[in-house]
């Protein structure tokens, strides 16, 4: 097991409440029981109604000693069974409850890049053709096979390709260069496959996105030449099913990127150096220690659990997600290629992806490239609220720059974060300096955003959007039928395309294991501490800080109303429409349970 200092461990209340107790129980009891109930680990779902049965009839689990054991472990998933029943019956996610076919629709596929659980990956296309940065001597010609003609066929009547680029209307999910070096390795693992992928979108006049093309690439390998093909929405049955299969591959890539990079790497993992440096370099009486302390609650403990059961060798991620045993390696590569502290601030992240530009006349000083971008729109309000609170706090204790520069504890804290916590990046030129109150405000706001808004936006909607796994399969198990298929393979696709899609989806054990885990990870504990809800004792003793905190709380309550108003606005089509789940991931407060809203101070689940 991983050592966690006693003052970082779950409180007794936390240990006895749903979140902590259930996490342990799911790993130690439910998953082994599922593995017993589903003997064939490669067995897929024979038809879509068999997937629906997970929510209606459930999975029969072996009997356990003690009455009501399963219901004590998973009260939400087992609340409707009889005393003699041992079926694990999943709750219907809100998305599926509103629209049973939500996962099937192209517009929903596109909408989730802005409003789903991974809003951190979409980026603006600034150059054409799309090109790889990988070595062409190893991976083949860098140019994408998505051509100008393909794009203009899809957007005919709107504009030309050149106009679309100039008007900032083309966007891409680009997992090509990150995944392509792992295609050969992953394909050597049993029961899975991998491609490099690019997915191109066009911004419609109503601010919704239209998927234009998906490119899947296999590098030269095993004596075979480079293979890559572009798929487009079609009005012919064969093209329709190839498009659906290509989407399944892209969604598996996006699920892996979300879990490994947007979620684990950028929140859980990269918060640890802040916690360690804060405890080592700042005394408990230090004002910045007091400000940051609520943002670090339980993170080391939940990370220890993750290392023991989720990201460990042969753990949930390695056995159920596309990169397989290379998951942590890809995570490390992504850290090396992509992570930089200054871009962890929400405004800088949006600018770096071309999703916003600086504009002093626009709200928050940024003009969004896509005006109806729910994550960014709500996130920027929350960022400003956080920054105002941090500014009021810091300016009270550090009214002059000389106080920041002469604070030895504070300087040692920032030095350790840069040179020890991120020692391999200590010489990067993008690290902020710490000389003025404004420097300190930006650094602390960035840290508090990562632990609160960033984490909430990628965590608490997991069961809502991925609880019905065809919406976000975590793994793709079959190659595209157009990739060197035999005549027999092609005949199977032509006669039973639905079966091929089901075979591509996760197996029964992979799907049900991930569903059970996501239900737990999407859950708010009864003792959750939400942003601005309750003042720390040290803050309440200082009338200036207490007044600033009350203003902080008031603005967060205003944000609740702002989000409700936006969700009711029929013109905001990425958060309002028939069957669409309102975007509430950044609503500050929540009741316990799987609610799809609520922003805790810290990464506590």
Q: Is the pLDDT of residue 285 over 80?
A: yes
Residue 589 CA to residue 529 CA, distance in Å, equals 9
Q: Which residues contact 240 (CB under 8 A, 6 or more apart)?
A: 233, 234
pLDDT level of residue 20 (50, 70, 90 thresholds): low
Count of beta carbons in the 10 Å neighbourhood of residue 438: 15
3-state SS of 258-302?
HHHHHHHHHHHHHHHHHHHHHHHHCCCCCHHHHHHHHHHCCHHHH
Residue 455 bears catalytic tag: yes
Q: What is the pLDDT of residue 82?
A: 45
Position 39 scores a pLDDT of: 78
What DSSP line would sit under 10-35, residue for residue? PPHHHHHSHHHHHHHHIIIIIHHHHH
Average pLDDT over residues 527-547: 93
Confidence band, pLDDT 50/70/90 cuts, at residue 309: confident
The band of 74, judged by pLDDT with boundaries at 50, 70 and 90, is low
Q: Is 189 exposed, middle or buried (0-12, 13-18, 19+ CB in 10 A)?
A: middle
For residue 40, give every residue at least 6 positions away whose Cβ sits within 8 Å of its Cβ, in sequence order, or none. Answer: 508
C-alpha span between 584 and 602 (Å, rounded): 18
Q: Among residues 249, 258, 263, 364, which one is catalytic?
A: 263
Domains observed in the chain: 6-96 (4.10.372.10), 121-259+476-506 (3.10.450.60)
Res. 40 pLDDT band, cuts 50 70 90: confident
Can you tell me the distance from the alpha carbon of 36 to that of 94, in angstroms, rounded to the nearest whole number?
A: 29
Three-class HEC string of 509-553: HHHHHHHHHHHHHCCECCCCCECCCCCCHHHHCCHHHHHHHHHHH
Q: Do residues 507 and 191 lie in contact, with contact meaning Cβ atoms separated by under 8 Å? A: yes
pLDDT, residue 33, reads: 74
Question: Which residue out of 455, 517, 523, 524 is catalytically annotated?
Answer: 455
Would you call the peptide bond into 129 cis, given omega within 30 degrees of 0 as the criterion? yes
Are 302 and 603 a contacting pair, CB within 8 Å?
Answer: yes
Residue with tokens 């300096």: 433
Measured between alpha carbons, how far apart are the two ends of the chain, in Å? 18
What is the pLDDT at residue 80? 38
Per cent of the chain over pLDDT 70 is: 91
Instruction: Assign 19 a pLDDT band (cuts: 50, 70, 90).
Output: low
| Residues whose CB is less than 8 angstroms from the CB of residue 102 and which lie 6 or more positions away in sequence, other chains included | 95, 96, 108, 471, 579
Q: Please tell me whether the overall predicted TM-score, pTM, comes out greater than 0.85 for this model.
A: yes
Question: Does residue 275 have an active-site annotation?
Answer: no
**Quick count: other Cβ atoms within 10 Å of Cβ 121?**
18
DSSP string, 163-182: HHHHTT-EEEEE-HHHHGGG
What DSSP string runs through 323-344?
Answer: TGGGHHHHHHHHHHHH--GGGG
The rounded mean pLDDT for the chain is 92
Tell me which of 118, 459, 523, 553 is the catalytic residue: 459
CB 299 within 8 A of CB 268: yes
Q: How many residues comprise the chain?
A: 605
- Catalytically annotated residue among 268, 293, 295, 422: 268
In DSSP terms, 346 is beta-bridged to none
In this structure, the dihedral spanned by the alpha carbons of residues 85, 88, 91 and 97, taken in order and rounded to 10 degrees, is -90
313 token code pair: 């060798």
* Known active-site residue 176: no
Calpha distance 512→531 (Å, rounded): 33
Active-site residue identified among 31, 38, 545, 605: 605
Q: Which of 421-435, 463-477, 524-538, 567-581 has the lowest mean pLDDT?
A: 524-538
Q: What distance in Å separates the CA atoms of residue 591 and residue 605, rounded to the nearest whole number?
A: 15
Contacts of 329 (CB under 8 A, 6+ apart): 182, 323
Q: Assess contact for 137 and 165: CB atoms under 8 A.
A: no
């Amino acid at each position: 097991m991983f050592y966690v200092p006693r003052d970082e461990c779950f409180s007794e209340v936390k240990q006895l409440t749903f979140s902590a107790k259930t996490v342990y129980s799911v790993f130690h009891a439910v998953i082994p029981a599922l593995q017993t109930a589903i003997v064939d680990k490669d067995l897929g779902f024979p038809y879509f109604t068999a997937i629906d049965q997970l929510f209606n009839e459930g999975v029969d689990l072996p009997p356990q000693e003690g009455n009501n054991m399963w219901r004590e472990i998973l009260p939400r998933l087992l609340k409707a069974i009889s005393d003699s029943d041992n079926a694990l019956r999943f709750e219907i996610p809100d998305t599926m409850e509103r629209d049973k076919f939500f996962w099937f629709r192209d517009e929903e596929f596109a909408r989730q890049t802005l409003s789903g659980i991974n809003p951190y990956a979409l980026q603006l296309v600034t150059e054409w053709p799309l090109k790889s940065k990988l070595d062409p001597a190893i991976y083949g010609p860098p140019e994408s096979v998505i051509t100008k003609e393909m794009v203009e066929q899809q957007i005919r009547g709107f504009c030309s390709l050149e106009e679309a680029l100039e008007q900032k209307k083309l966007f891409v999910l680009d997992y090509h260069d990150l995944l392509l070096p792992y295609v050969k390795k992953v394909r050597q693992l049993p029961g899975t496959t991998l491609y490099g992928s690019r997915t191109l979108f066009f911004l419609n006049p109503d601010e919704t996105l239209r998927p234009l093309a998906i490119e899947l690439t296999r590098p030269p390998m095993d004596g075979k030449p480079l293979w890559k093909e572009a798929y487009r929405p079609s009005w012919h049955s064969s093209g329709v099913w190839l498009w659906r299969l290509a989407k399944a591959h892209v969604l598996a890539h996006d699920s892996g990127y979300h879990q490994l990079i947007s979620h684990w790497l950028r929140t859980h993992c990269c918060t640890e150096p802040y916690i360690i440096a804060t405890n080592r370099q700042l005394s408990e009486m230090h004002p910045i220690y007091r400000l940051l302390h609520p943002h670090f609650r339980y993170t080391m403990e939940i990370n220890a659990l993750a290392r023991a059961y989720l990201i460990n060798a042969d753990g949930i991620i390695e056995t159920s997600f596309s990169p397989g045993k290379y998951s942590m390696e890809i995570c490390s590569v992504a850290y090396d290629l992509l992570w930089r502290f200054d871009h962890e601030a929400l405004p800088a992240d949006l600018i770096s992806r071309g999703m916003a530009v600086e504009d002093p006349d626009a709200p928050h000083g940024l003009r969004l490239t896509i005006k109806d971008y729910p994550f960014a729109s709500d996130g920027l309000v929350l960022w400003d609220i956080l920054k105002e609170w941090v500014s009021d706090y810091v300016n009270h204790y550090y009214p002059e720059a000389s106080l920041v520069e002469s604070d030895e504890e504070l300087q040692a804290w920032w030095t350790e974060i840069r040179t020890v916590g991120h020692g391999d990046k200590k010489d990067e030129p993008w690290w902020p300096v710490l000389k003025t109150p404004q420097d300190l405000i930006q650094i602390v706001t960035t840290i508090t955003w990562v632990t609160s808004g960033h984490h909430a936006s990628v965590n608490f909607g997991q069961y809502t959007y991925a609880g019905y796994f065809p919406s976000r399969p975590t793994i793709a198990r079959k190659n595209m039928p157009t990739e060197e298929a035999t005549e027999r393979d092609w005949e199977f696709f032509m006669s039973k395309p639905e079966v091929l899609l089901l075979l591509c989806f996760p197996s029964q054990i992979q799907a049900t294991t991930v569903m059970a885990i996501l239900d737990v990870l999407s859950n708010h504990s009864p003792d959750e501490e939400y942003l601005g809800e309750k003042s720390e004792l040290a803050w309440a003793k200082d009338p200036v800080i207490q007044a600033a905190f009350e203003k902080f709380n008031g603005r967060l309550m205003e944000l609740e109303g702002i989000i409700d108003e936006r969700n009711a606005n029929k013109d905001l089509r990425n958060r309002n429409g028939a069957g669409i789940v309102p975007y509430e991931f950044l609503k500050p407060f929540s009741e316990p349970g799987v609610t799809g809203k609520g922003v805790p101070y810290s990464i506590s689940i």
